[in-house]
């Protein structure tokens, strides 16, 4: 359904005043557009003079026409710009053109994987992330096998619900919701291209997101961290003890530097370490303006020992033995290493009798939970973890900002290792 109204655009005032426009909204595709009426007013609220009233009267008739013919947004904009056809023949021509467009989409339909190949290439050229788009397309190709492709207009609610169920055998609910969201973005990209004649109804809108359990605690308890820290690998045969010890130390390193992601320690450079502080930006925020907040945290003795023991001083990266992620091309080397890292942690978890899952991502949740339980100021936790810039002024508590932050950070480390470390 098309909705239209006359509005005053107060976002930008010209020399003539604020422009008067028709705002046209398509309730099916949830998009809108504007048509200039080449009228201007100086007040910031629309004044309904005789010209406006006359245009509103014409707009009512135009709305009745476009909705009776089920015109889409583009077809409706043309009517609002040019006015209603002056005779029945012109009206009939418009109806036939609209019907012809729909028939063309059936005669030579746009195929999903054919379009997706172009879409992925465009995103790659813009240096945008495509990993999840490729993943969901790979899953969908397996889902429709032996069929090799499918017309985008044949993607319907029933098919999507079956696909959602198919994914439930492989992924958790959160991942399924993410996959379907990326799938929908491909559909919408095709729908936005008028020459492809994609149907206006969006079947993804009818697929309800799966519930995500709010009770799913992703942190690891202090007791379990202590078991991991104190676990004696010497009593375990048939393993490379040095490799297993390195994984434990790196995981604890993730926690003690502020609960940072594995990808961030992978990309850590020697130039990021200054005066026993670690200064970097999160990989997750690489697409944000200026790379997001800068993290500047104290390196306490345990972290310094890990860097000294495992750091590759002949390389610009501190831990250069970990493959760098490559989101745009082949990311398999990094993913394989990370999977091996998590497998080692899982093996130790079982041997040590730890109940919670232990994997690289949990370092972040664990630090956050421990800090919260210690009643550390939430803004301070966010500053340490790089969620956002802190709203705390640097002299608010009567000391320098770093002194305050480091003292709060130290509380977490003392809770983890059950021993005093000096700042």
Residue linked to tokens 């301070």 = 380
How much of the chain exceeds pLDDT 70, in percent?
Answer: 90
Q: Which two tokens stand for residue 242?
A: 């040095």
Question: Above 90 in pLDDT, residue 173?
Answer: no
The most confident of 60-74, 214-228, 306-320, 333-347, by mean pLDDT: 306-320
Confidence at residue 106, expressed as pLDDT on a 0 to 100 scale: 59
- Please state, in angstroms and rounded to a whole number, the distance separating the CA atoms of residues 268 and 121: 30
Confidence at residue 395, expressed as pLDDT on a 0 to 100 scale: 40
Q: Which two tokens stand for residue 342?
A: 């998590």
Contact 370, 412 (CB under 8 A): yes
- Please state, in angstroms and rounded to a whole number, the distance separating the CA atoms of residues 361 and 254: 9
Question: Above 50 in pLDDT, residue 127?
Answer: yes
Confidence at residue 141, expressed as pLDDT on a 0 to 100 scale: 92
Q: Which two tokens stand for residue 91?
A: 């009206």
- Name the strand (E) or helix (H) holding 161: helix 157-167
Integer CA distances (angstroms), 138 to 28, 112, 134, 168, 347, in order: 28, 12, 6, 15, 30
Confidence at residue 343, expressed as pLDDT on a 0 to 100 scale: 92
The model's pLDDT over 239-288, given as tens digits with 9 standing for 90+, comes to 889 999 999 999 999 999 999 999 999 999 999 999 999 999 999 888 77
DSSP annotation string for 257-317? TTS--HHHHHS-BGGGEETTEEEEE-GGGTTSGGGSPEEEEE--HHHHHHHHHH--TTSSB
Work out whether strand 31-41 and strand 18-26 pair parallel, antiparallel, or are unpaired: antiparallel
Residue linked to tokens 């014409």 = 58
Per-residue pLDDT band for 105 (boundaries 50, 70, 90) equals: low
- Please state, in angstroms and rounded to a whole number, the distance separating the CA atoms of residues 343 and 337: 10
Quote the crossing angle between the two packed helices 157-167 and 131-144, to the nearest 10°. 100
Phi, psi for residue 204 in degrees, rounded to 5: -65, -25
Q: Which two tokens stand for residue 194?
A: 């008028």
* DSSP SS3 for 3: strand
The reported pTM is: 0.52
Q: Which two tokens stand for residue 249?
A: 């130390």
The model's pLDDT over 10-54, given as tens digits with 9 standing for 90+, comes to 888 898 999 999 999 988 777 889 999 999 999 888 888 888 988
């Amino acid at each position: 359904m098309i909705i239209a109204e006359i509005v005053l655009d107060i976002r930008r005032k010209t020399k003539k005043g604020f422009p008067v426009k028709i705002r046209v909204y398509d309730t099916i595709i949830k998009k809108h557009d504007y048509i200039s009426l080449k009228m201007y007013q100086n007040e910031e609220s629309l004044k309904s003079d005789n010209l406006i009233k006359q245009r509103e009267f014409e707009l009512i008739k135009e709305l009745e026409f476009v909705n009776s013919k089920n015109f889409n947004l583009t077809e409706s904009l043309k009517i609002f710009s040019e006015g209603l056809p002056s005779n029945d023949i012109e009206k009939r021509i418009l109806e036939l053109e609209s019907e012809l467009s729909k028939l063309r989409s059936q005669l030579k339909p746009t195929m999903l994987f054919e379009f997706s190949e172009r879409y992925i290439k465009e995103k790659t050229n813009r240096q945008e992330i495509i990993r999840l788009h490729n993943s969901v397309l790979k899953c969908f190709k397996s889902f429709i096998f032996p069929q090799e492709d499918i017309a985008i207009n044949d993607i319907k609610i029933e098919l999507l619900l079956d696909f959602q169920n198919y994914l439930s055998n492989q992924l958790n609910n959160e991942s399924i919701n993410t996959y379907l969201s990326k799938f929908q973005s491909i559909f919408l990209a095709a729908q936005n291209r008028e020459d492809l004649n994609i149907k206006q109804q969006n079947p993804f809108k009818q697929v309800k997101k799966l519930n995500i359990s709010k009770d799913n605690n992703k942190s690891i308890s202090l007791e379990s961290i202590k078991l991991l820290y104190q676990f004696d690998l010497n009593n375990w045969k048939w393993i490379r003890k040095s490799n297993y010890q390195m994984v434990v130390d790196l995981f604890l390193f993730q926690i003690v530097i502020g609960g940072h992601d594995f990808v961030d320690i992978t990309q850590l450079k020697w130039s990021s370490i200054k005066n026993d502080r670690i200064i970097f930006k999160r990989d997750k925020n690489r697409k944000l303006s200026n790379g997001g907040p800068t993290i500047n945290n104290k390196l306490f003795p345990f972290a310094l020992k890990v860097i000294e023991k495992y750091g590759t001083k002949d390389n610009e990266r501190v831990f250069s033995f970990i493959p760098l992620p490559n989101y745009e091309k082949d990311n398999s080397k990094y993913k394989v290493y990370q999977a091996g890292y998590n497998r080692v942690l899982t093996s130790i978890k079982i041997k040590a009798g730890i109940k919670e899952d232990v994997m690289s991502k949990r370092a972040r949740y664990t630090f956050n939970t421990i800090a919260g339980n210690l009643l550390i100021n939430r803004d301070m936790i966010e500053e340490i973890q790089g969620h956002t810039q802190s709203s705390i002024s640097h002299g608010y508590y009567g000391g320098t900002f770093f002194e305050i932050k480091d003292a709060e950070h130290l509380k977490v480390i003392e809770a983890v290792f059950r021993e005093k470390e000096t700042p």
